[in-house]
Amino acid sequence: MSLEVKAEGLWKHYGDKVVLKGITYRFNARRVYALLGPNGSGKTTLLRLLALLEEPSRGRILYLRDGRALRADMALRRSICMVLSEPALFNTTVLGNVLYGLRLRGLRRRQASHMALEALARLGLQDKARQRALTLSSGEAQRLALARALAVQPQVLFLDEPTASVDEENSQAIEEIIASVGRHCTVIFSTHDIGQAHRLADVLLRLKEGRLLEDE
């Protein structure tokens, strides 16, 4: 039941600035991909396109199950998740942020609460469940965004610099989570930390001048 993601001839430009130049790539199911590249090389842009949050200028994204392309409907969108490096949190409690996506997917309050608290515990945030999300530190906010994503058990998970403002201990916890999530779903994450890329990824990808290259 796992999903593959295929980019076909993806171009993206903003005005006359061309960010992505015809990217074609197939992301296999149950693999972890690290996306490297300097500031401004298009990592976040590519992740946003792959996660269907933004339209390419040209080309397309396909999601495949057992080799068959799926329609980009609500059910598909609910099985993919993207965590931004500076996540937009809802102005409610920490717990409320995690509950939201679960309730949206039709889970009953009790089960949703159970799953939400479990996800918060994985990220070391159980003691902050009642705190207002907007009062969290940036590292805590980043961990909350990951908890929120994990709670809905996505089949494809996109992470934009998942440990960018997280301390060493929590970075290690996040890396362990990424490794374990990667065993049963497709994970594509961007990073500037080459060590992290090597530790976690099955495949290292690099964006260079608008093109996507696989590291040897």
Ligand X SMILES: Nc1ncnc2c1ncn2[C@@H]1O[C@H](COP(=O)(O)OP(=O)(O)OP(=O)(O)O)[C@@H](O)[C@H]1O
| Residues binding Mg ion (CB under 5 A) | 43-44
**How far apart are alpha carbons 208 and 73 in whole angstroms?**
32
**How far apart are alpha carbons 33 and 81 in whole angstroms?**
15
91 binds, among ligand X, Mg ion, none (CB under 5 to 8 A by kind): none
**Minimum distance between the CB of residue 41 and ligand X, rounded to whole angstroms?**
4
Q: Using the rule CB under 6 A, which residue among 1, 16, 39, 73 binds ligand X?
A: 39
Cβ proximity to ligand X, 13 vs 30, nearer residue:
13
> Contact between 205 and ligand X (CB under 6 A)?
no
Cβ proximity to ligand X, 97 vs 190, nearer residue:
190
9 binds, among Mg ion, ligand X, none (CB under 5 to 8 A by kind): none
Q: Using the rule CB under 6 A, which residue among 7, 32, 37, 158 binds ligand X?
A: 37
3-state secondary structure the chain: CCEEEEEEEEEEEECCEEEEEEEEEEECCCCEEEEECCCCCCHHHHHHHHCCCCCCCEEEEEEEECCEECCCCHHHHHCEEEECCCCCCCCCEHHHHHHHHHHHCCCCHHHHHHHHHHHHHHCCCHHHCCCEHHHCCHHHHHHHHHHHHHHCCCCEEEEECCCCCCCHHHHHHHHHHHHHHCCCCEEEEECCCHHHHHHHCCEEEEEECCEEEECC
Instruction: Select the span of 42-50, 55-63, 166-174, 177-185 touching ligand X (CB under 6 A).
Output: 42-50
Instruction: Select the span of 33-41, 64-72, 93-101, 111-119 touching ligand X (CB under 6 A).
Output: 33-41
Q: Using the rule CB under 6 A, which residue among 5, 36, 45, 189 binds ligand X?
A: 45
**Minimum distance between the CB of residue 160 and Mg ion, rounded to whole angstroms?**
6
Q: Using the rule CB under 6 A, which residue among 3, 7, 44, 173 binds ligand X?
A: 44
Q: Using the rule CB under 6 A, which residue among 1, 14, 73, 106 binds ligand X?
A: 14
Q: Which of 55, 73, 53 is nearest to 63 (CA)?
A: 73
Interface residues with ligand X (CB under 6 A) are 14, 19, 37, 39-45
